[in-house]
Structure 1
Amino acid sequence: MNLKRSYTISFDEETAKKIEAIKEKTRKTYKEIFLEAIETYLEAFE
């Protein structure tokens, strides 16, 4: 079974610009950027 969920995340203007810069620089999708950030965050608490 393949379940999909969608989420909406809001950022302030400064954070949104930083995310856009990462996206342009790395050519990653938003999904890849956020998954990597979540993994890094979770690893910090292991």
Structure 2
Amino acid sequence: MPCYFTAANLPSQQETLGPVVGETLYAGQNVNRKSIRAKFLRQRETASTQ
């Protein structure tokens, strides 16, 4: 049985968090771990329901 997860081309941490931080700064919000985590989780929830 092939392992698809090891063959997946996943984005790096910087590629994942960069847009989240950029959107947070553009919105004039504070950039901290809590705000980044909240925005990231909202994006993931939205993506998984589409």
- TM-score when scaled to structure 2? 0.43
Greater relative contact order (Cα 8 A, min sep 6): structure 1 or 2? 2
Q: Which has the higher helix share?
A: 2
- TM-score when scaled to structure 1? 0.45
